[in-house]
Amino acid sequence: MGSGSVLGFDFGLKRIGVAVGTLELKLAHPLETIAIETTDARFARIGKLIEEWQPALAVVGIPHRGDDSAHEFAPTCLRFAQRLKGRFGLNVALVDESYSSAAASSTLNESGIRGRRQKSVLDQVAAQHILQHYFDEPDHAHHYLA
């Protein structure tokens, strides 16, 4: 996988954060927060993003506990990753996203965006952290759904 765009996802039950970057530059940027409730509408929006960006890869954050044991939300995130692969034929990498929301909040605080003002962008900045983690340490991807 040498070139092309990559979409990063911070999956949540209420919102999905999305980030974008390229394999050439290895820089992640927040893209959007999908705050749609129905699964079909969420995947329709994701389909539009895939159509627009034509990604070579999707990176999905999977939560882990500090002791490396499985997090109770991990199977839900894995199911989302499998749906990305199944519906869109994407190669999918899974990376640890345990601290992405805290890192995103810290980044936003440093930018002067605090408290409730973070809600609309927090998930996409968390997705940016997930994707950047993949770019910085691709060998630490837990698994590829290829």
3-state secondary structure of 55: coil
pTM here is 0.81
Q: What is the pLDDT of residues 47-88, one digit of tens each?
A: 999 999 999 999 999 887 665 666 666 889 999 999 999 999
Give the architecture (CATH level 2) of 24-145. 2-Layer Sandwich (3.30)
Q: What is the pLDDT of residues 5-18, one digit of tens each?
A: 999 999 988 999 99
Longest Cα separation, the chain? 40
**Backbone φ, ψ for residue 89 (5° rounding):** 65, 30
Looking at residue 32, what DSSP letter applies? E
Looking at residue 115, what DSSP letter applies? G
3-state secondary structure of 70: strand
- Single out the residue of 6, 10, 36, 35 nearest to residue 124, CA to CA: 10
Looking at residue 64, what DSSP letter applies? B
